[in-house]
Amino acid sequence: MTASKYLFLFVLGLCIGGCTPFHMTLTNEERSYPATSAEKIQLFFQGETTPPAKELGVLVVSGDSEKQGVKFMQEKAATMGADAIINLEVKIQTQTLLIIFIPIPVHSYFVSGTAVKYVN
């Protein structure tokens, strides 16, 4: 293959890898809540004690960084009317691309959690 073909494949890989795939499963479809502020969404990692809350939905995000994934998840949870994300989990997957015999590690971050609304 010529160098231009390698360059095209590399750029294509960056474009595909730069996307933020997102999946949301609603668990509380009988009621909707007004949107909240993404900056006010509280985060609780797995194992942390959380206030009493009603589950709204499960969120799964794939991104280029942990910070990007968590921020995107907070934005989506806010549109659902959530107050917090519980059981937050971050997984890192590393793959190695071989471009012109040079191994290049590529990291993908998968962030998952459950959007909840506090019970008053």
Q: pTM of this prediction?
A: 0.71
Q: How many whole angstroms from its chain centre is CA 86?
A: 13
Which one-letter DSSP state was computed for residue 101?
T
pLDDT, tens digit, for every residue of 83-116? 999 999 999 888 777 777 778 777 788 999 999 9
Q: What is the C-alpha to C-alpha distance for residues 74 and 120, in angstroms, rounded to an integer? A: 21
For residues 36 and 81, what is the distance between their CA atoms, to the nearest angstrom?
5
Give residue-wise pLDDT tens across range 2-32.
555 554 555 445 444 454 566 566 666 666 7
Q: How far apart are CA 66 and CA 43, in angstroms?
A: 13
- CA distances (Å), 13 to each of 10, 16, 91, in order? 5, 5, 21
Domains, the chain, ranges and CATH? 20-118 (3.30.110)
